[in-house]
Structure 1
Amino acid sequence: MHNGGTPLFIAAFNGHVEVVAALLTAGANTEAANEDGATPLYTAAYNGHVAAVRALLTAGANTEAENEDGWTPLHIAAYNGHVEAVAALLTAGANKEVATKDGWTPLHIAAYNGHVEAVAALLTAGANKEVATKDGATPLFIAAYNGHVAAVRALLTAGARKEVATKDGWTPLHIAAQNGHVEVVTALLTAGANKEAAKEDGRTPLRAAAYGGHVGVMRALLLAEGDDDKEAGSESRWTPLHLACLDGDLARVEQLLQGGAEVDSAGKGGWTPLHLALCGRSTEVAARLLRAGASTTQATGGNTPLHNASYGGQAGVVNALRRAPLEAKNHEGMTPLHRACQRGHRDVVEALLRAGADQEAKTDVSSFVVMHAVWMEALLLHLRTSPAVMRPGGPLAH
């Protein structure tokens, strides 16, 4: 990090303001950068040495000097949450909308690390809360992605739009649901985020949460009642049995079934109590539903209960579902055996084979392409929301 640093750079990095002042009085160059393109002002901002930052600003240091990654002193102060340095730079006229090579503004970066005071300072200064990175991610999306609920609330209070999607169709609610951030999901829902928003592939926040196995998020989504629920009537709502099954509450499930609850009541997207029991990994509840006559063929997203049990590695449920259609294919052209193989669940594979599953069954021609696209989308989303300059070691770590 000190590679190529001048005495002024070293003094600024360590926050020795009296030494900084002496060097400036002697005519030290405020713009002399190290090998990474970082100036003395940048390194003072990096470490949050606000007195050194102010001394350099008074001496006329350039607030917009970028390092080799396109980061300014304001970017790095926001990244590390040094709110006093952020405030000093803003007061000196630092450009609050300057973007890195990937389109990240200081507000994106403060939101990424959940530095809510820095987020608030930037918002108060008028930073654009709707600006998007090259991949379409707004500061709200970035905060939601990492589960920083305080930053999410600050952005929502400032009026950030909740439904702005990335180029891949992900809204803040989608990504918070997929990553299991229940507090963020709740904050977004309270602010009126659309829980039924679907990507081009039909994936809703609920399905995204199910994909990640996030039961708490699923419960929050099920409990959230939107205007469409109120208008459509009770037939579209989630029942107490759905929630009891998701929670794995066998006693409550028993009570509801004894009271006449409809075992195959389907919520939006075709979710039955059995599907939710499987998402909650509750073998006992699933077995009780099957004894009550729950359908083994009703699908959600093309996946039958057997598909979901196979994917989740629930061998006990697979055995209970042995009379279910073994060769049913989901929207990706995969049978339950394919799904078990996909996840490497040997005990489930063996149970399916014992039940007579076709070990030579082939996926649809397009299945590999579809699955490859899904896997690549998830990988790229992670990479896109973790800029190279934020890798372990980060800026200036040399």
Structure 2
Amino acid sequence: MIAAGSGSRQAVDSLIQRGANINAAEPSQGQTALMWAAAEGHTEIVNLLVAEGADIRIATKSGFTALAFATIANDGDAVKRLLAAGGDPNLKLGDGTELLLAATSHRSTAAAIALLDAGADPGVKDQQANTPLHTASQRGNLPLVQSLLAHGASVLTVNMAPRGAGRFAGAGGQTPLFLAARGGHLDVMKALLDTGSDPHYHAPDGGSFLMAAVSSANVEAVRLAWKYDNAVDVAMKDGSTLIHASVTGTGNSPEAQARIVEVIQFLADHGARLDEVNKANSTAIDIADVGPTDKAVLLITKLILAKGGYPVHPSKRGIGLPPAQ
């Protein structure tokens, strides 16, 4: 096992020739030499052990097989070899998690694609009803998204609310397109739209595709969403508007603020309401003032004043307000 884990082919060869039990398992976790080689990404040793008759079906006490170890290690070649030797692409781990879900959550793209090519079900779901396509879309993993779509993953499936979800963070009922938009992943957004995603769907909380894109603080994502969903008067059930979304959870670093004001200006240019009060009695200025996202406060205030209005709730720090007469 130590030889397999270290990747020493010479040592492994020598031990096999001397009659070592190729399927021996260490007593603590029940791991075999094949598992150690798979976990450490030693594809050559995996190939050797499989060729010498190592049992790929043996599982550890926690339900991990060599295929599971190779998947988590994202060793695509080892995964393919183990699948070719009879590994199950729809394997469930000891806790019931499907192997494809584990691959996706561990960012094991090569392994996930190999599993899909071998027949893994692209529609498996975790406890919050997230499919691999949800996770890959949220992370902007275009190669995996493309593979999932090619293998029939549904673009219309929605997830459930994660524990502790807040406004604009994804309160449930989110499609892969919403998650890609929220991350500002343009290539993934385009791939999903080209494969039948519904840009007019609204989540149970009232959120829209455009609102998801706005919350990314990526004006290019907003421009793309606008081509399909130009309802600027959309509001969530809590009364929050697109302008609220633009300043919620988008950060307040100098770089983030520069992106946020681009989004706000785009929305203002297209008729978005700037000074609505939500059910928490907050305007976008209130939220940005607390951030603090000063550039957003300044721009929103400036836009309201330019239209002859005055902020419902002016900045408590006086940002953007004309000097007192």
What is the TM-score when the length of structure 1 is the normalising length?
0.60
Match of 2:198 among 189, 194, 201: 194
Instruction: Tell me the distance in 1 between the aligned counterparts of 2:126 and 2:245.
Output: 39
Instruction: Tell me the distance in 1 between the aligned counterparts of 2:192 and 2:131.
Output: 14
**SS of structure 2 residue aligned to 1:351:** coil
Matching residue of 2:260:
281
Q: CA deviation at 1:46?
A: 1.8
Residues 248-285 of structure 1 deviation map (CA, whole Å, 9 limit, x = unaligned) = xxxxxxxxxxxxxxxxxx536169x9949966533898
Query: Is 1:20 aligned to 2:5, yes or no?
Result: no
Paired residue type of 1:269 = V
Question: Structure 1 residues 43 and 305 mapped into 2: Cα distance closer, same or farther (>3 Å)?
Answer: same
Matching residue of 1:133:
126
Instruction: Tell me the distance in 2 between the aligned counterparts of 1:116 and 1:219.
Output: 29
Question: Structure 1 residues 274 and 139 mapped into 2: Cα distance closer, same or farther (>3 Å)?
Answer: closer
Instruction: Tell me the distance in 2 between the aligned counterparts of 1:55 and 1:148.
Output: 32
| Structure 2: runs of 5+ lacking an equivalent | 162-172, 248-258
Question: Structure 1 residues 17 and 219 mapped into 2: Cα distance closer, same or farther (>3 Å)?
Answer: same
Instruction: Tell me the distance in 2 between the aligned counterparts of 1:99 and 1:87.
Output: 17
Contact 1:132 1:138 in 2 (8 A): yes
Residues 176-218 of structure 1 deviation map (CA, whole Å, 9 limit, x = unaligned) = 2223322222221222212233332122233233334233322
Contact 1:309 1:317 in 2 (8 A): no
**SS of structure 1 residue aligned to 2:234:** helix
- Of 302-311 and 85-94, more deviation after overlay is shown by 302-311
Instruction: Tell me the distance in 2 between the aligned counterparts of 1:300 and 1:182.
Output: 29
- Of 102-111 and 159-168, more deviation after overlay is shown by 102-111
Instruction: Tell me the distance in 2 between the aligned counterparts of 1:190 and 1:145.
Output: 17
Matching residue of 1:46:
39
Contact 1:31 1:39 in 2 (8 A): yes
Instruction: Tell me the distance in 1 between the aligned counterparts of 2:263 and 2:159.
Output: 40
Contact 2:67 2:87 in 1 (8 A): yes
Query: Is 1:155 aligned to 2:148, yes or no?
Result: yes
Question: Structure 1 residues 28 and 112 mapped into 2: Cα distance closer, same or farther (>3 Å)?
Answer: same
Instruction: Tell me the distance in 1 between the aligned counterparts of 2:202 and 2:263.
Output: 32
**SS of structure 1 residue aligned to 2:317:** helix
- RMSD after superposition: 3.8
Match of 2:188 among 176, 184, 191: 184
Number of residues paired by the alignment? Answer: 283
| Structure 1: runs of 5+ lacking an equivalent | 1-8, 226-236, 239-265, 327-335, 337-347, 356-398
Write the mapping of 1:100-111 to structure 2, written as runs, cut at 5 A: 100-101=93-94, 103-111=96-104
Query: Is 1:80 aligned to 2:73, yes or no?
Result: yes
Instruction: Tell me the distance in 1 between the aligned counterparts of 2:272 and 2:98.
Output: 52
Quote the sequence identity (%). Answer: 29
Paired residue type of 1:119 = A
Matching residue of 1:324:
311
Contact 1:196 1:204 in 2 (8 A): yes
Runs of at least 4 residues off by over 6 Å: 276-279, 299-303
Write the mapping of 1:172-251 to structure 2, written as runs, cut at 5 A: 172-223=176-227, 225=228, 238=230
Question: Structure 1 residues 299 and 45 mapped into 2: Cα distance closer, same or farther (>3 Å)?
Answer: same
Instruction: Tell me the distance in 2 between the aligned counterparts of 1:128 and 1:319.
Output: 51
Instruction: Tell me the distance in 2 between the aligned counterparts of 1:156 and 1:20.
Output: 41
Contact 1:278 1:309 in 2 (8 A): no
Query: Is 1:315 aligned to 2:297, yes or no?
Result: yes
User: Which protein is richer in helix relative to its size?
Assistant: 1
Matching residue of 2:117:
124
Write the mapping of 1:305-384 to structure 2, written as runs, cut at 5 A: 306-307=285-286, 310=289, 312-313=293-294, 314-317=296-299, 319-320=301-302, 321=304, 323-326=310-313, 348-351=315-318
